[in-house]
Amino acid sequence: MTKIPKILTIGGGTGSYVALEGLKKYDLKLTAIVTMMDSGGSSGKLRDELGVLPPGDIRQCLVALSESSKLMRDMFNYRFEEGGLKGHSFGNIFLSTLEKNTGSMKKAISEVGKILRIKGNVVPITFTKNTNLCVDLEDGTAIVGETHIDVLEKMQKRARIVKAYLKPEAELNEDAKRAIEKADYILIGPGDLYTSVIPNLLVNNVPEIIKKSKAKKIFVMNLMTKHGQTTNYSAKDHVEDIEKCLGIGVIDYVLVNSKLPRRDTLSWYEEFEEYPVKDDLEESKDYEIIRKNLIKDVIVKNTDHDELRRSIIRHDSEKLAQEVIKIING
């Protein structure tokens, strides 16, 4: 009997959604490890006002893995446009309600997983509440809170990030620990480097467990730089920051997009001094570089009632999944 590969994704909501949506079409055992440091938008409000874990990234991964009807998936992603609930998504409120009612985000995820008939598992990296993502900048400035790191006004300048850490420290969820240890392949990214991907790697013991894991580690390079996080970053800069967390020689593959986005979409990014990530990677003894067209042809529209500014250029779920399957098949 052929062994079904265990694939683990590590990231936030949007990037993991893209990866999972494509991978779920294949015969794989999927687990999404999700950051719990979100402090902005609907998730941040629910976290601050109700004392729950931020539900937004969990919701996106649950919807991505859902084999339920389109109506059910759309309902969980539905974002209220007016009234006291403006800006909140139904799924975020539902997850938070279940967490308050059961006293456990783990139970809440399990119940929503049944409703959405998910193919796989969604696992928070930590259950430590009220931990904040913090960064120190090159100019000595310290920033506390994911939303303050993520949100920056147009053309506002910021020094380069030199250190990232969690305050207070976050303890690793035992279910996440077991999932990492059992994985055959670990997909790191795509997603904002410092607010979606790296926060997972800052949780206590995560780097050591990933290093010890026999799984093949695949880093998915972002398509665009992120204002205030990876301004002027090249592909090499992204890899080096991941290696600062995990160590050199841990990553086995780096997936890099080889096609430039459409010119008419770039002006939207250029307002924030964001540009396609320059591929300056050189052949390495530590990892294999895979260059492919990974861009989704359809542009994603942001909604006016979503408080967060989200990327309009995304990886193509199917293209990304196909490259992962090629790695699995050797």
Which range marks the domain in which residue 320 is found? 6-329
DSSP characters over 163-231: EEEEES--PBPHHHHHHHHH-SEEEE-SS-IIIIIHHHHTSTTHHHHHHH--SEEEEE--SB--TTTST
CATH number of domain containing 232? 3.40.50.10680
Residues of 133-172 as b/e, b for ≥16 C-beta within 10 angstroms? bbbebeeeeebebbbbbbbbeeeeebeebeebebeeebeb
Is 39's pLDDT higher than 90?
no
- Per-residue pLDDT at 218 exceeds 60: yes
Give me the mean pLDDT over the 2-21 stretch.
95
In a domain, 19, yes or no: yes
Kindly tell me if the per-residue pLDDT of 200 is higher than 90. yes
Q: Closest Cα to residue 264, out of 320, 318, 312?
A: 312
Q: For residue 250, is it within any domain?
A: yes
The answer to whether residue 1 is domain-embedded is no
pTM: 0.94
pLDDT in tens, 151-182: 666 657 889 999 999 999 999 999 999 999 99
Asked if residue 174 belongs to a domain, the reply is yes
What are the DSSP E strand ranges found in the chain?
Answer: 6-11, 29-34, 121-124, 132-137, 142-144, 161-167, 185-188, 216-220, 253-257, 288-292
Q: Categorize the per-residue pLDDT at 28 as very low, low, confident or very high, splitting at 50, 70 and 90.
A: very high
pLDDT of residue 265: 85
Number of domains in the chain: 1
pLDDT band, very low/low/confident/very high, at 25 (cuts 50, 70, 90): very high
